[in-house]
Amino acid sequence: MAAINAVTDFSVEGDVGVVTLNSPPVNALSAVVREGLKGAFDAAIADPAVKAIVLICDGKTFIAGADITEFGKAMTGPSLQDVQGVIENSPKPVVAAIHGTALGGGLEVALVAHYRVAVPSAKAGLPEVNIGLLPGAGGTQRLPRIVGVEKALEMVTSGQHVPAKAAHAMGLFDELVEEGSLRAGAIAFARKVVAENRPLKKVRELNDKVEAARGKPEIFESFRAANAKKFRGFMAPENNIKCVEAAVNLPFDEGLKEERRLFMELMTGSQSAAQRYVFFAERQAAKIPDVPDDTPTIPVKKVGVIGAGTMGGGIAMNFLNAGIPVTIIEAKQENLERGVGVIRKNYENTAKKGRLTQDDVEKRMGLLTPSMEMEALADCDMIIEAVFELMEIKKEVFAKLDKIAKPGAILATNTSYLDVNEIAAVTSRPESVIGTHFFSPANVMRLLELVRGDKTSKEVIATCMKLSKTIGKVAVLVGVCYGFVGNRMLAQRQREAQKLILEGAMPWDVDRVLYDFGLPMGPFAMSDLAGLDIGWDASKTSSSTVREVLCEMDRRGQKNGKGFYDYDENRNASPSPVVEQVIRDFAEKRQIQRRTITDQEILERCLYPMVNEGAKILEEGKAIRASDIDIVWINGYGWPVYRGGPMFWGELVGLDKILAKMKEFQAQYGDDFKPSALLERLVAEGKGFKDA
Ligand code: 3HC
Ligand code: NAI
């Protein structure tokens, strides 16, 4: 075995040359990898003993793509296209041997090999769309030539990782070899190619599938229409579609040029910069400076959930889905039955859509033990409380739990706002107490705010961070404060939205501006969806807010067809003239002079105070980094990922501009707009949040 460079080896086994890459963690195509590949293939091609070449990777995966950390920097070493040219034009057959994930540029390298073999656990995909890009090394031109236009469109716009069996069925992999025997299997396959004198199959020359779609623009139009909602606001899906159109309508080399042009358009734009930032921010959030990776964790083999309401049921499902048994406790028999019934119904609905088998449904339900006795939690390793949001009840539950739970069990609260330290203080083991703030619907939303109390132990934090991955959540560690990170910032936006409708805007104006910004819905549509009467007490009502007046008029939101909006039988919303009048009357009573409010003011009034609150959160150390705040907003509130989160967006707008506007608003409307000291300091020093 000869080393070509630090990450590439070349060896000859009989008549097969083997190029081995070893560049942890994911064999990304950095300059040194490209250099190594080129050197190794040059050597293999020049070696007269070599009749065929296998490309294989060490470590956990085949090449997982271009090295994203190199983007935006000056390129060194050979380009990926140069390397691909050497491989594709090799006079000797090249076999890519795939394990782990062949992604992005990695799959594009495999696509210039003449054959691809893989183990059954391997996956392949072109996930560039997820970082606001498109496959820029021929992927959009080669993929449809193998899998056809429809499948290619789906793959490049979803970024899905296709499992080996499906990849084999669609012709992307030529052969599957036994798990654990990739190297031997690939060498044997290469020998077979040589022995049978099989052709040097170049994907670029396969035209049947793209020609079949030529002159059928309706394929693309219907794909665009079917996915319009999903792609709203994003640039990358459309550029990916245009590339596949180019593959169909242009000769291969022209298609490549079009792909390059559309790639550069994305690469130099702000959306991809934001999405690449989010990719790394999400991984960064998992790193807690004082809780190193090797912190011991507590095995969690059984989970308890207290409260089978809206949140408890969804929380339980997360664990059942991961195969972890759950005991769920209720105070009322009827609520227990209803809660368990809702879980079953959710699973049945998923099964109806074909995403679960009936067998899976029963398996998951079989892991669930409903009970009315807290004592049933004695053998649980982790217990999550999701009862009413009342401190007294929570304290009662935790005091009882302290007596029942086994030593070392994690005691978690799903509180949205309450003080985790105060809850922990009623137990004799505050080090075991942590906040696990799930978002509704808890079985769907990816975010988990982990709330660290003053005494929460590192083991508990490390365990919860790890467990969140097991149940498919993105966890962000936050500190104790009212509303934690997400709801605390949300309160800023909600307050301004309420003020704006009295000052002159209408709910549908505010909603439209925020929806057009890229949020899934505005605050008023959101209130209608959740129900205007949440937390409203008919016996104590005093017409003190527009919302209260609407509740008094029995306008309770979508559920009874009228809230801030009027709803038809299909729940389509339209602006309500009744609500408009209510708002005008309310403003008049308060002697508020209504005026014209621009869309720009709506946006600035709703979002700048959020950025400012984020700065206060950082200043107080309630979030570890600004990027953690962004991850909260992207995964918990649908902040558009192509805008990178409120803190990233704030910097894009300019912290100086935001500060100036906050000061202007403060002079006009008061201390709701008081700038944070951190914001003032960063602007004075010309710095950004990462320097905070
Ligand atoms: N470039 C640079 N670093 C990368 C990387 C990449 N393409 N992919 C992963 N990494 C890094 C991560 O940042 C992380 O670093 P850290 O340990 O310092 O935080 C480390 O590798 C491990 O990554 P994960 O924690 O994500 O490991 P997993 O095992 O959970 O997942 C994976 C592995 C599925 C490969 C996942 O990392 C992934 O999806 N990577 C991105 C794949 C991708 O987007 N490829 C396309 C790149 S763009 C491209 O190829 C352009 C081309 O068309 C020209
Ligand atoms: P819910 O009212 O739907 O359910 C609470 C359930 O707890 C009820 O079924 C009730 O019978 C049960 N319960 C009350 N006291 C109990 C006790 N002592 N022992 C056992 N069961 C008891 O409430 P929801 O919405 O599920 O909220 C639960 C918690 O989650 C609250 O702290 C809330 O703030 C928080 N939360 C709620 C979110 C939401 O969107 N609904 C989002 C995130 C957090």
- The candidate with the shortest Cα–Cα distance to 300, out of 366, 380, 378, 369, is 380
- The candidate with the shortest Cα–Cα distance to 142, out of 28, 253, 19, is 253
Residue 17: per-residue pLDDT: 98
Please indicate whether residue 336, judged by its CB atom, sits closer than 6 Å to ligand 2. no
The whole-angstrom separation of Cα 557 and Cα 554 is 9
- The candidate with the shortest Cα–Cα distance to 463, out of 427, 431, 441, is 431
Of all protein residues, the one whose alpha carbon is nearest to atom 22 of ligand 1 is: 25
Q: At 426, list the tokens.
A: 């009623």
The residues annotated with a catalytic role in the active site are 108, 128
What region, left, alpha or beta, does residue 133 occupy, with left being phi > 0 and alpha being psi -120 to 50 degrees? Answer: beta
Residue 629: per-residue pLDDT: 98
- The candidate with the shortest Cα–Cα distance to 658, out of 675, 677, 634, 640, is 675
Please indicate whether residue 237, judged by its CB atom, sits closer than 6 Å to ligand 1. no
pLDDT digits (tens, 9 = 90+) for 158-216: 999 999 999 999 999 999 999 999 999 999 999 999 999 999 999 999 999 999 999 99
- For 88, residues 6+ apart whose C-beta sits below 8 A from its C-beta are 112, 202, 204
The one-letter code for the residue type at 568 is D
Q: 3-state secondary structure string, 611-668?
A: HHHHHHHHHCCCECCHHHHHHHHHHHHCCCHHHCCHHHHHHHHCHHHHHHHHHHHHHH
The whole-angstrom separation of Cα 382 and Cα 368 is 15
Is residue 1 over pLDDT 90?
no
Q: Does domain 303-481 have CATH number 3.40.50.720?
A: yes
| 171: DSSP letter | T
Pairing of strands 326-329, 303-306: parallel
In which band, very low, low, confident or very high, does the pLDDT at 292 lie, cut at 50, 70 and 90?
very high
- For 322, residues 6+ apart whose C-beta sits below 8 A from its C-beta are 470, 471, 472
Please indicate whether residue 413, judged by its CB atom, sits closer than 6 Å to ligand 2. no
Q: What distance in angstroms lies between residue 113's CA and the mean position of ligand 2's atoms?
A: 56
Residue 535: per-residue pLDDT: 85
The whole-angstrom separation of Cα 419 and Cα 561 is 36
In which band, very low, low, confident or very high, does the pLDDT at 72 lie, cut at 50, 70 and 90?
confident
Please indicate whether residue 125, judged by its CB atom, sits closer than 6 Å to ligand 2. no
pLDDT digits (tens, 9 = 90+) for 395-410: 999 999 999 999 999 9
User: Fold identical between 303-481 and 526-590?
Assistant: no
Helix axes 486-503, 507-517, angle to 10 degrees: 140
CA gyration radius, the chain: 29
pLDDT digits (tens, 9 = 90+) for 248-268: 999 999 999 999 999 999 999
Task: Find where tokens 């052709």 sit.
Answer: 199
The one-letter code for the residue type at 193 is V
ipTM greater than 0.90: yes
pLDDT digits (tens, 9 = 90+) for 109-164: 999 999 999 999 999 999 999 999 999 999 999 999 999 999 999 999 999 999 99
Q: 541 to each of 533, 583, 684, how far by Cα in Å? A: 11, 17, 47
The whole-angstrom separation of Cα 375 and Cα 354 is 38
Q: At 682, list the tokens.
A: 């960063």
Neighbours of 99 (CB within 10 A): 24
How would DSSP label each residue in 42-104? HHHHH-TT-SEEEEEE-TT-S--SB-GGGTTS---SS-HHHHHHHHHT-SS-EEEEE-SEEET
Q: What distance in angstroms lies between residue 279's CA and the mean position of ligand 1's atoms?
A: 8
Give the residue extent of every domain in the chain.
2-267, 303-481, 526-590
Q: What distance in angstroms lies between residue 23's CA and the mean position of ligand 1's atoms?
A: 12
Question: Is 106 in contact with 139 (CB distance < 8 Å)?
Answer: no
Is residue 41 over pLDDT 90?
yes
Q: 208 to each of 53, 144, 170, how far by Cα in Å? A: 27, 10, 14
Q: Note the maximum CA span of the chain.
A: 93
Q: 52 to each of 19, 86, 116, 177, 525, how far by Cα in Å? A: 11, 14, 13, 18, 62
Is residue 692 over pLDDT 90?
no
Q: For domain 2-267, give the CATH superfamily.
A: 2-enoyl-CoA Hydratase; Chain A, domain 1 (3.90.226.10)
Q: Which ligand is nearest to the CA of 387?
A: 2
Q: Select from 305, 306, 310 the residue to mutate for testing ligand 2; criterion: most ligand atoms less than 8 Å from CB.
A: 310
Residue 595: per-residue pLDDT: 97
The whole-angstrom separation of Cα 449 and Cα 483 is 11
Q: At 45, list the tokens.
A: 């091609």
Please indicate whether residue 261, judged by its CB atom, sits closer than 6 Å to ligand 2. no
The whole-angstrom separation of Cα 505 and Cα 599 is 9
Please indicate whether residue 614, judged by its CB atom, sits closer than 6 Å to ligand 1. no
Cβ neighbourhood burial of 590 (10 Å; 0-12, 13-18, 19+): exposed
Instruction: Report the percent of the chain where pLDDT is more than 70.
Output: 100
pLDDT digits (tens, 9 = 90+) for 488-520: 999 999 999 999 999 999 999 999 999 999 999
Residue 394: per-residue pLDDT: 98
Q: What distance in angstroms lies between residue 63's CA and the mean position of ligand 1's atoms?
A: 10
pLDDT digits (tens, 9 = 90+) for 634-681: 999 999 999 999 999 999 999 999 999 999 999 999 999 999 999 999
Of all protein residues, the one whose alpha carbon is nearest to atom 26 of ligand 1 is: 283
In which band, very low, low, confident or very high, does the pLDDT at 691 lie, cut at 50, 70 and 90?
confident
**φ, ψ for residue 97 (rounded to 5)?**
-110, 115
The whole-angstrom separation of Cα 556 and Cα 576 is 13
Cβ neighbourhood burial of 168 (10 Å; 0-12, 13-18, 19+): buried
Task: Find where tokens 């193998």 sit.
Answer: 146
Of all protein residues, the one whose alpha carbon is nearest to atom 1 of ligand 1 is: 67
What mean pLDDT is reported for the chain?
97
Of all protein residues, the one whose alpha carbon is nearest to atom 9 of ligand 2 is: 309
Please indicate whether residue 412, judged by its CB atom, sits closer than 6 Å to ligand 2. no
Q: What distance in angstroms lies between residue 311's CA and the mean position of ligand 2's atoms?
A: 6
Instruction: Report the percent of the chain where pLDDT is more than 90.
Output: 98
Domain 526-590 CATH class label: mainly alpha
- The candidate with the shortest Cα–Cα distance to 200, out of 113, 330, 309, is 113
Of all protein residues, the one whose alpha carbon is nearest to atom 43 of ligand 2 is: 439
In which band, very low, low, confident or very high, does the pLDDT at 622 lie, cut at 50, 70 and 90?
very high
Neighbours of 657 (CB within 10 A): 13
Please indicate whether residue 131, judged by its CB atom, sits closer than 6 Å to ligand 1. yes
The angle subtended at Cα 234 by Cα 230 and Cα 239, nearest 5°, is 105
Lowest mean pLDDT among 74-78, 149-153, 261-265, 426-430: 74-78
Question: Is 109 in contact with 97 (CB distance < 8 Å)?
Answer: no
Chain centre to alpha carbon of residue 219: 29
